[in-house]
Amino acid sequence: MNRAAFVLIVEDEVAHGEAILEALERSNYACHLVDTGQAAIESIRQRPPDVVITDYKLGGEVNGMNVLRETKRMSPESEVILITAYGSESLARDALSQDGEYRAYDYLIKPIDIDVLRDKVGRAAKQALAAREGRLLRQQMDKAFEFAGILGTSELMQREIKRLKKLARSKSTVLVVGETGTGKELFAQAIHQNSPRAGKPFRVLNCAAVSETLLESELFGHVKGAFTGAVADRKGLVQAADGGTLFLDEIGDMPLTMQAKLLRTLETGEVLRVGSNDVQHFDVRFLAATNHDLAELVRNGAFREDLFYRLHAHGAIRLPPLRERREDIPVLVRRFIEQANQEHGTSFTGATPEVMRKLMNYQWPGNVRELRNTIFRISLEAEGPVLDVDDLPGSLQASTDIVRLGPPNLAGMSMADVEKLHIMNTLRMFGGNREKTARALGIGARTLYRKLRDYGLR
């Protein structure tokens, strides 16, 4: 298992309960032992367990069947394993055969075989965790929003979309900043589509994909004979976008000489084609994007300060990397599966919770683009109807770590995120042993289990 399940043990024979507790804690389960049915119900109310192991016959007013019913009522995803004495297995089998919501998962016969105990708890925990993760996924899907093709659930994306809507209505130049693959062009298209220029031309120029000698011609056009190979007049992208929007992708890679010419066009609307002395005027709104730190490029003399401030006149839209908005991954996966089905003629209905957990824990250096490519690639080879762990690339199967293997850069991170990273690094150092991890961190085992739960790492 990739994370410890929480197991509640209900046993009025203290020595027997402690033996179960010790056996499961050695298998890295987080356990809590109580000796009455009433204490079990209080524990479930405070913290729903993944698995409940309860003696069928408990001393007191609340017996094992009462614990089963209350567990299923308060925490339907929890699984319950009953303990019964030899010769009375029929009572437990009756609980397994019940219809409806009060059905037990399995039962154990005293004296308990430790290997059988671990096997049944492991299978029950896997089923409970899958059910809980499925519910959380459904909740995330219910919270999902979509705006002009931009899909997500995270507050980070909602904040930037709110800014997008305001900036779209203006005439100003807008800069979109984000790592490669975060969807900068999609945001630029959304700005255009929600502006008064919607329906007019939308043109794109990748400044990093065109050589310096051709960039000016691509942007402003040229006249016949301007240079070798210029056999006819050619209009540039500024003219082609007249009345609409021109999106300059990777503007941080634009040469300084071109930056000066672009700045003049931004300020005056004037365009001078290569080889011509006739100034032309066009009505174009400029959008720009970069994966560079433009302020750093300004300090290094690689980007004009006046152009930088022109682009930042209304601030920049900053797209967070996918690793900072992991809650968006399930809805993106669902969308990409739908798109892959349409393109490949497949009929996948989704992905298993284990696959989703691995996808959410991966770092995604290529961001949304890498996630989309991964889903499209595995959907070509998987058998279906649900994407399973065996369908994932080796790099995703091999690791479920949330932190990088190298030392992280903590600048700009919240204290909660720093603590999460520190806990994960320490867990890795001790091979997942939670007792050693807790001692190394200087906290109690219960505190560690609580933090693992709070951070979604258990």
DSSP string, 277-316: --EEE---EEEEEESS-HHHHHHTTSS-HHHHHHHTTT-E
- The superfamily CATH assigns to domain 415-454 is Homeodomain-like (1.10.10.60)
Helices and strands (H, E) in the chain, number of each type: 19, 18
From first to last of the 458 residues of the chain, give the pLDDT tens digit. 445 689 999 999 888 999 999 999 988 898 999 999 999 999 999 989 999 999 988 888 898 889 998 999 999 999 999 888 766 667 767 767 666 567 888 888 888 899 999 999 999 998 888 787 777 666 666 666 778 888 888 888 989 999 999 999 998 999 999 999 999 999 999 999 999 999 999 999 999 999 888 899 999 998 887 787 777 888 899 999 999 999 999 999 999 999 999 999 999 989 988 888 889 999 999 999 999 999 999 999 999 999 999 998 888 999 999 999 988 998 899 899 999 999 999 999 888 878 888 898 888 999 999 999 999 999 988 887 889 889 998 878 765 444 333 344 454 556 776 787 778 777 766 656 777 787 778 787 778 877 887 776 65
pLDDT at residue 262 in the model: 95
- The superfamily CATH assigns to domain 149-318 is P-loop containing nucleotide triphosphate hydrolases (3.40.50.300)
Task: State the pairing for strand pair 174-177/285-290.
Answer: parallel
CATH of 6-142, one of 3.40.50.720, 3.40.50.2300, 3.40.50.11540, 3.30.479.30: 3.40.50.2300
Distance CA(405)–CA(428), nearest Å, equals 10
pLDDT at residue 142 in the model: 64
pLDDT at residue 401 in the model: 44
- Rounded to 5 degrees, φ, ψ at 246 are -120, 120
3-state secondary structure 107-129: EEECCCCHHHHHHHHHHHHHHHH
Helix (H, G, I), strand (E, B) or coil at 317: strand
Q: How far apart are the first and last CA of the chain?
A: 10
Q: Where in the chain is the domain with CATH 3.40.50.300?
A: 149-318
- Rounded to 5 degrees, φ, ψ at 407 are -65, 130
CB 50 within 8 A of CB 125: yes
CB atoms under 10 Å from CB of 264, counted, come to 13
Q: Where in the chain is the domain with CATH 1.10.10.60?
A: 415-454
Which of these, 353, 346, 348, 263, lies nearest to 303 by C-alpha position? Answer: 263
Number of residues written out for the chain: 458
Helix (H, G, I), strand (E, B) or coil at 111: coil
For tokens 């050589």, what's the residue?
A: 211
Instruction: Retrieve residue 231's tokens.
Output: 């056999």
CB 50 within 8 A of CB 98: no
The CATH code of the domain at 322-398 is 1.10.8.60
Residue 33 is classified by DSSP as: E
pLDDT at residue 182 in the model: 95
Q: Where in the chain is the domain with CATH 3.40.50.2300?
A: 6-142
